[in-house]
Chain A
Amino acid sequence: DSGVTQTPKHLITATGQRVTLRCSPRSGDLSVYWYQQSLDQGLQFLIQYYNGEERAKGNILERFSAQQFPDLHSELNLSSLELGDSALYFCASSVDRGNEQFFGPGTRLTVL
């Protein structure tokens, strides 16, 4: 158990819908990262927040957005979902950037 929690564990939805994935970092970690893992794209970095502010952006689509709240939990919002968005979405946290990241169990999103 890494100390990073993610909800829900599984999510099944339809194309065109919007979903929100939630992540709670390890106690004391200020940075939260989101990753997408799919068979064809591998593990892709999406976005990083540090203490509530966006710090780095990766291959995140415009239909996706994220935020980190004052209590440091983070949400990843995925809208206008497409079949290709089906993937495992991982959240990770670290004390600060450059440090080792601890990964949550992931949310498996299936878009039908």
Chain B
Amino acid sequence: AQSVSQHNHHVILSEAASLELGCNYSYGGTVNLFWYVQYPGQHLQLLLKYFSGDPLVKGIKGFEAEFIKSKFSFNLRKPSVQWSDTAEYFCAVSSWGKLQFGAGTQVVVTP
């Protein structure tokens, strides 16, 4: 069965710490990969996406993600987080129009 799994459900870290959120998927064939962020009380916003080309993708707000095809992974990183990065982060995989989300990772950044 097709699935998207995010390694951590909750992450707590201090400002200026580095962040890495894991995402693995199991899909056959070509996929498009996304990371979305949902700030408290808000809707989902696209952080970055990967369709093809350079597997290192840069998104908004200093986030980047690396697609490793052999590992079916699309991990999200940010070198130095800020309090305003407190949010829920969703990895998503698009295959034939269906966007399947991971369970999400709640990230709390403490001052």
Contact = CB atoms under 8 A, between A and B. Distances in A.
B97 A42 contact: no
A19 B97 CA distance: 27
Task: Tell me whether chain A's interface is mostly helix, strand or loop, or mixed.
Answer: strand
B25 interface: no
Interface stretch (B11-19, B44-52, B77-85): B44-52
A48 B98 CA distance: 8
Contacts of B43: 2, 90, 103-106
A33 B46 contact: no
B70 interface: no
Contacts of A48: 97-98
The size class of the interface chain B forms with chain A is 10 to 19
A100 B97 contact: no
A55 B43 CA distance: 24
A43 interface: yes
B45 A2 contact: yes
Chain B residues touching A, majority SS: strand
Interface string B74-111: 00000000000000001000101111110110000000
Contacts of A83: none
Given A42-B103, A43-B104, A55 B97 contact: yes
Contact of A98 (B32, B100, B104): B32
B34 interface: yes
Contact of A101 (B42, B96, B99): B99
Interface of B: 32, 34, 36, 42-46, 49, 90, 94, 96-101, 103-104
29 contacts: A2-B45, A33-B99, A42-B104, A43-B44, A43-B90, A43-B101, A45-B98, A45-B100, A45-B101, A48-B97, A48-B98, A50-B97, A56-B96, A56-B98, A90-B44, A92-B44, A97-B96, A97-B97, A98-B96, A99-B32, A100-B34, A100-B46, A101-B99, A102-B46, A103-B36, A103-B44, A104-B43, A105-B42, A106-B43
